Every structure is written in structure tokens, then in C-alpha cells.
Amino acid sequence: MIEKNIIELSGVEKRYGSFAAASGINLDLKEGEFFSLLGPSGCGKTTVLRMIAGFQDPTQGTVTIDGRNMEGVPANNRPTNMVFQSYAIFPHLNVGNNVAYGLRGRAPKAEIENRVAEALEMVELGGLQLRGANELSGGQRQRVALARALIMRPKVLLLDEPLSALDKKLREQMQFEMRNLQQSLGITFVMVTHDQYEAMTMSDRIGVMFNGRLAQVDTPASLYARPCDEEVASFIGEMNILPASVAGESDNALSVNVAAFGNMQIDRNPNVTNPGKGIIIGIRPEQLEIKSEKPEDYPATVQGKVINVAFYGENIHYHVTVDGHDKPIAVSVPNYFHTVDFNRGDTVWLGLQAASAIDLGRGK
Amino acid sequence: MILRSDAAKGYSLSAPATIYVGFLVAAPLAILIAYSFWTQTYVTLDKSLTLKNYREALTDPLVQHLMLRSIWIAGAVTIVTVALAYPIAYFIAMKAHKKTIWLLLITIPFWSSYLLRVFAWKLILGFNGVMNSALLGLGLINEPLSFLLYNEFAVVLTLAHAWAPFAILPIYVSLQKIDPSLLEAATDLGNNAFQRFMRVTLPLTIPGIIAACLIIFIPTVGDYVTPALVGGSDGKMIANLIQVQFGAANNWPLGATLSLMAMLSVGFVAIVFVITGNRLGRRIR
């Protein structure tokens, strides 16, 4: 299958005086994919989205949408539509007129009515045309904003923190609904979010941004398994960070001496851009074994003491102090049998498999 | 004292204002209504109830003429003022960086007395005034223009200047309240700047426009200083006639009747205006 790039950003930069809100952004988005820009607030992800929408002009670089250079093309002439963080529902119009807004004067009245009904049906607000804008709940406002943008049949739908105003239950429900909608329509969605779970559950690919730069662009699974550095590793999920020294290396393997755990042979992480002799190793809490006896079949083990137990329901987190590392190591165990096996003060053994130790390159 | 309910609390909190308004608005209004049904011959007040004043006021062509002229002048002042105020308010709310300074500048006319400002216009527009001297000096005219002062034009101009801040402020507030993302959404949905203004900005500022219109229209209908000073005989308004009844003509009952009729007319026009304004606003989609 030939995948076409619907959006291409090359060398895009946005400066405010000496401050670079975004710089060196090179990004190709494929037609029909669900892409998320993920990062902490102030990292420049919204700036990138607004440059695609045309609300801000890049100081440098080019934005190409569907093969067309967007330089000088104002937001109202771009084949993109946006769902705003505040939803921006027109307060003086009812639901039907809000959804019809972009079509007025461009299509015959009967067609507008049909398309409005269809769009509202699609977001499960069928028949609510006459409802006033101020009589909507947060979730309904979000759906209206979606319908209002989708009715324009954009090539790309831009979503600026679309779920941040909703409560947790509704947010999770909307994640699935939006994902399904995107799959059935086949439109490219570009979403900005600071919520890693939201980005992971909904996206085909994620671009992680820090300080105006794209740190890594990858699928959720490889971002989780092979983050390019410590910053990305700690932002996506939880990660134990341990220093290590490299004793020997080959093309795709490293022989390392990890703090507390000792010597082991691990895979080289292809996403790392700054390798070196002194590197850091990341270990996901759920990939560590925790036992009261020294575990068999683990190449690296260490004994420690439980200093904290946190019960999350679906899993249990233990914080374990070990010799050779100052920070306690987090271990997460699924709650299989409704039992909490260890208590604060217990002596335990931790076991580490080579595949679970992630090479994160040199630290910052 | 223990207040038993929220309602009691509310009444006691609003009591000072209620008493104040009662003495200064309700009571005088009641006296005015009473007077309008009485008659007066020289200094004796006849307190037997009669509709004579109303009959006189309704049949006198001068009253009708002045009433209509008052409404038309006030209407013109309102339209001119709001039309000029909107762009200023828009500039301050949407484009200006130092809003406080601009708002301060707008209030500058209020730093001098209303009367002085009317006199200033008299000096500007007069036969030997600033305007005519300047135009003569520039050789643009051969003799002083006489249509500048002592007519409806002078009244409209003077009042529009005097009331400008009252129009700018409510419109400014309603523009200020518009969420910028609504304007971006309109752009995003394909509107250019003009369409966006007509479909989002304007309908959302209708409450401000209506407030500005009422704030200007209602007091200007009853203004008598400006028409007395710059209106000449062509610019006289209903308030000048009312003033005469309470003063030189010494006919308080007729004055009271004219006042009440002026109030009713203004109220009627204002209500019709508010309803049509809101209706029109709702039709924009």
C-alpha cells in the first residue's frame, strides 16, 4: 500500500522575539492516521497545531497540506478544521445552526439540513438541532464541536486538548468513540494532548515534544518499549532510571554493568541518539519480578527492603530500597488474587530480565 | 436582630436603596401624576380631577410637533453616536494594547462641565466661530456658513459628542467578553473577516448596542440645555416646552401632563426598539 503524506512540516520554527515556541519541526503525517502531539504544557505542541490550522505563521520552514504549500493561505481557506479546547460553541446559535455554521451560503438549504442531521447522528446527538448552546453538558458541547468540524469534510481534523474539559469516565468513553469515528471516516486526526494515556490509547503514532522540539515520533508501543532518552521514558508511563557503565559493545548489543543489578547483556536501543560509555538504563515497574526468595532464571537480581506499598486496585505498587542505588525502585504487580503479598519493612528480592532493561543512552 | 430567611435578609439589605428610590423617584412621580389631573389658574391650584390637560396636550399641534422632533433628534443622535462609537470600542477591545489609557482618554470630555462643552460647540459653530474663521482663512468659503448653528444639525452634533463615552463603554464591554476562540472557530469554518464580524461579533454585541442606544436615546429625548443653547427655534425640543410650563407659563399641571406623555412615548419607542433589536439579532445565523 502506498501511503500518502497528507501533512508535511519541514524545518518549521516559530519564534516570539528570542523565544522559540517551536523549532526544527520535521514531521510527515500519513493520510488516515490518528496522530497525537504529546508533551507537557508549554512545550509548543499547540503552536504546531495552530501553524497547521493557519492561526499562526511559521517564522521559518514550510507547512504542506495535501501537496499544497500553505504559505500565505489563511486559516479560512485551508482544508483543515479544528475542535477547540474550549469547544468555542457559538452561544447565540442553537445546536443545529452551530453545526451548520460552515455550510451556510455554500450548499442548498435542504442539503445543509440533511448533512446537519447526519453529522449530529454521527456524534450521537440526533434530533437535538433546536437545543440552545447554553443548555448543553460538557460532553454534548464536545460532540457539537466535533460535528461542526466534521460536517465540513476536512482533509485533516485538528483537535486541541479535546477531552481535557471532561470528567474521567466521560473522557475514557469519548476516547473510544473518537477513535471509532476516525477509523470509520478515514480522516486524518491530529490531536494535541498532555495526557499520555489519552495519546497512547487513541493514536496510531505519537510525537513527543519538549521545549519546542520533537523528541521522538513513534507508535505507542515502541515509544513505551524503546524511548529515545530519559525525558521521553519518564513522560510516557513510569520508569525506574538506573545508571550503568558500558563494558563492551557490538552492533546491536551492549554489555553493561547496571547499578544494584550488576552485569548483563542487553539490546542496543536503535532510537538512542547519544550513546556513550556511561549510560542510563530504564526499567518499567511492571517488568520487574518481586519475590520473597531469590528468583531463579533471572540474569540479574538484587535484595532490598519494601518502604512503601500503594494499592491501586488493578495493581499494587511497591517501593523497594536496594544497595547501590539511592532512589527506591518501583515495582508494579497485577492484582491477580486480591492479595497484597508484601508489607512495609519486608525483605524482598527483585529479578530483572535483559529484555526489560532499556538502553536510554547518555543522560542529560 | 435574627434574620429568619434569605428573603428577609435580602429585603433588609436592599431597604436603604428602596427608601432612597422611593423618596426620590416614586414619590415625585406620584406627585407628577396627581398634578397632571389637576388645573391651575394663575396661582390657584384646582384639585378637582379632570382630563383637560391631556385633551389639550393631545390636540395641540405644537406638542405633537415638538414630541416627534424630540424623538427624531434623539434617534439621530443615537444612530450617529453608536455608529461612531462602535469602531472606537472595537479598536480598544480588539486591537489596542494599552486599553486603560484609551478608556481614560475617552472620559476626558467629562472632566469639564456639560454646560461648558455645549458653550464650546457654540463657539466652534457660531457665525464668527472657529469653524467659519478657519474655512474663511483657508479661502474655502467667501462668507460665513449660517447653517452650522441654531438648528437640528447643531443639536445632533453637540449631543453626539457629549454622549459618545456612554455608547463606547457598553459596546466595549460586550466586545471584551467575546471569547477569542469563537472568532477563530468562525475563521476555521471558512469565514473571512467581514463574514465573521457579521455572523459572530455583531450578534454577540447586540446587548451592548441596545444598552448604548437606550442610555443615549432616553436622556436625549428629554434634554433641554443643548436645544436651548445651540438649537435656535428650529432645534427646540419637548423638554424646552415642559420647562416653559413649569417656569414662565406657570402651568404646572400641563407641564406634568407633557412630562408623563414624553415618558410614555420614550418608553414605547424604547420597548419596540429592544424587541426588534433582539429579534433581528436572533435571525442572524
Would you say residue B33 lies in a domain?
A: no
- Cα angle A255, A257, A258 (rounded to 5 degrees) comes to 120
Spans of all domains in chain A: 5-225, 230-359
For residues B219 and B234, the model is more confident at: B219
Would an 8 Å CB–CB cutoff place A101 in contact with chain B? yes
CA angle A339, A341, A343 (to 5 degrees): 120
What per-residue confidence (pLDDT) applies to A158? 97
Residues of B in contact with A93 (CB under 8 A): 285
In a domain, B175, yes or no: yes
Please name the amino acid found at residue A108: P
Does residue A364 contact residue A310 with C-beta atoms inside 8 Å?
A: no
* B208 assigned to some structural domain: yes
The set of residues, in sequence order, having a beta carbon less than 8 Å from that of B219 and lying 6+ positions away, is B163
* Residue B96 within any structural domain of the chain: yes
Residue pair A67/A88 in contact by the 8 Å Cβ criterion: no
Sign of the Cα pseudo-torsion (A81, A82, A83, A84, in order): negative
* Predicted pLDDT at B159: 92
**pLDDT for residue B256:** 94
Nearest neighbour of B192 by CB, restricted to A76, A84, A86: A76
Backbone phi, then psi, for A243, in 5-degree steps? Answer: -75, 155
Q: Regarding beta strands A357-359 and A278-283, do their DSSP bridges make them parallel or antiparallel, or are they unpaired?
A: antiparallel
Q: Could you report the predicted ipTM of this complex, rounded to two decimals? A: 0.86
| Residue A117: Cβ-neighbour burial (10 angstroms; 0-12, 13-18, 19+) | middle
How many angstroms separate the CA atoms of A319 and A297, rounded?
Answer: 23
Say what the pLDDT of residue B231 is.
Answer: 87
Residues of chain B whose beta carbon is less than 8 angstroms from a beta carbon of chain A are 179, 181-182, 184-192, 199-200, 203-204, 281-282, 284-285
Cβ count near B17 (within 10 Å): 9
CA distance B197 to B278: 17
Three-class SS of residue A133?
helix
Q: Which CATH architecture has domain A230-359?
A: Beta Barrel (2.40)
The whole-angstrom separation of Cα B212 and Cα B170 is 6
* Cα distances (Å, whole numbers) of residue B184 to A75, A158, B257: 9, 13, 54
Q: Which residue segment(s) compose the domain that B227 sits in?
A: 54-283
Does B208 have pLDDT greater than 90? yes
B37: in domain = no
User: What pLDDT is recorded for position B1?
Assistant: 53
pLDDT for A2 equals: 57
Q: Which residue of B has its CA nearest to A95?
A: B285
Tens digit of pLDDT at every position of chain A (364 positions): 457 899 999 999 999 999 999 999 999 999 999 999 999 998 999 999 999 999 999 999 999 999 999 999 999 999 999 999 999 999 999 999 999 999 999 999 999 999 999 999 999 999 999 999 999 999 999 999 999 999 999 999 999 999 988 888 899 999 999 999 999 999 999 999 999 999 999 999 999 999 999 999 999 999 999 999 999 999 998 999 999 999 888 888 899 999 999 899 999 898 988 888 889 999 999 999 999 999 888 989 999 999 999 999 999 999 999 988 989 999 999 998 888 889 999 999 999 999 999 999 887 6
Q: What are the strands of the beta sheet with A240-249, ordered from one edge?
A: A262-267, A253-258, A240-249, A278-283, A357-359
- Determine, yes or no, domain membership for B222: yes
Task: Return the CA Rg of chain A.
Answer: 24
| Residue B29: inside a domain | no
- Domain total in chain B: 1
Q: Which long-range contacts (CB under 8 A, 24 or more apart) does B196-201 make?
A: B198/B284, B199/A101, B199/B284, B199/B285, B200/A90, B201/B90, B201/B175
Specify the pLDDT at position B147. 84
Read out DSSP for A253-303? EEEEEETTTEEEEEE--TT-SS--SEEEEEE-GGGSEEESSPPSS-SEEEE
pLDDT of residue B47: 86
Closest listed residue to residue B82, CA positions, set B212, B208, B193: B212
Contact across the interface for B189 and A80, Cβ inside 8 Å: no
At residue A245, φ and ψ (nearest 5 deg) are -115, 145
Class of domain A5-225: alpha beta
Helix (H) or strand (E) holding A114: helix A109-122
Residue scoring higher pLDDT (B238 or A340): B238
Radius of gyration of chain B (CA): 23
Q: CATH no. for residue B124? A: 1.10.3720.10
E-strand stretches of chain A: 5-16, 19-30, 34-38, 60-65, 68-69, 80-83, 156-160, 188-193, 205-210, 213-218, 240-249, 253-258, 262-267, 278-283, 289-291, 300-311, 315-322, 325-334, 347-352, 357-359
Cell of B115: 454646560
Give the model's pLDDT for residue B3: 60
Residue whose entry in the numeric block shows the C-alpha cell 521559518: A60
Residue A129 contacts B where some CB pair is shorter than 8 Å: no
Instruction: Tell whether the model's pLDDT for residue B181 goes beyond 90.
Output: yes
Q: B256 in a domain, yes or no?
A: yes
Q: Residue A90: which of B187, B200, B281 has the nearest Cβ?
A: B200
